[in-house]
Structures are given as C-alpha cells and as structure tokens.
Amino acid sequence: MRRREFIALAGGAAAWPLVAHAQQPKLPVVGYLSTGSPEADATPLAAFRKDLGDMSFVEGQNVVIENRWANFRYERLSVMAADLAQRSLQ
C-alpha cells in the first residue's frame, strides 16, 4: 500500500464515527404534562417511567421524556401543551 492510499484510508476511517453519529435517527419525544409540581408528581412520574421501561423505552437510549409542570396554574396548560407539540416537530 502506498503512503497516499494509507493516508486517505486513515483519514476516512477517522471521519467515519462523525458521519455515523450525524446519521443517527432522532429519538421519539414523549411529553409529560401535569397540572401539579415535580414534588407532587414524584410517584406518578416514577410509575410513568417504570411503565415506559416495561415497554422497552429507556430515557436517553431510545426515547426522550419532556416534562412540563403547571405548578397548579391551570392557565399555563395550553402554552405548555403547545411547547411540547412544537418540541416534537423539531
């Protein structure tokens, strides 16, 4: 193998992880929208994550979970829902 061929091969091999990483599909986004607060929803949120795990969805590996809490300010729900919908389109 000639020196130029070796350098071209080595350069291509070094760039391969960058190309492979760039082509990874986006993870699906699951939204968790609550009228409460993170403290008030600790138990339901843990159950939600457990049930997702039972269906082979692992946060950060094959799904993204986006949490939104209204902190008992119900007028914020429509804005938070729109934010989650917009996030899933990105």
Give me the long-range contacts of 7-12 (CB less than 8 A, separation at least 24): none
**Residue 54 lies in domain:** 25-89
Q: Which helix (H) or strand (E) holds 53?
A: helix 42-54
More confident residue, 69 or 4: 69
Within a domain: residue 6? no
The two three-digit tokens of residue 1, written as one number: 């193998």
Within a domain: residue 51? yes
Within a domain: residue 5? no
- DSSP symbol at 35: S
pLDDT confidence of residue 4 = 57
CA 66/CA 60 separation, integer angstroms: 11
Q: What is the pLDDT of residues 6-50, one digit of tens each?
A: 555 555 555 555 555 556 678 888 889 999 999 999 999 999 999
pTM, 2 dp: 0.62
The two three-digit tokens of residue 48, written as one number: 């939600």
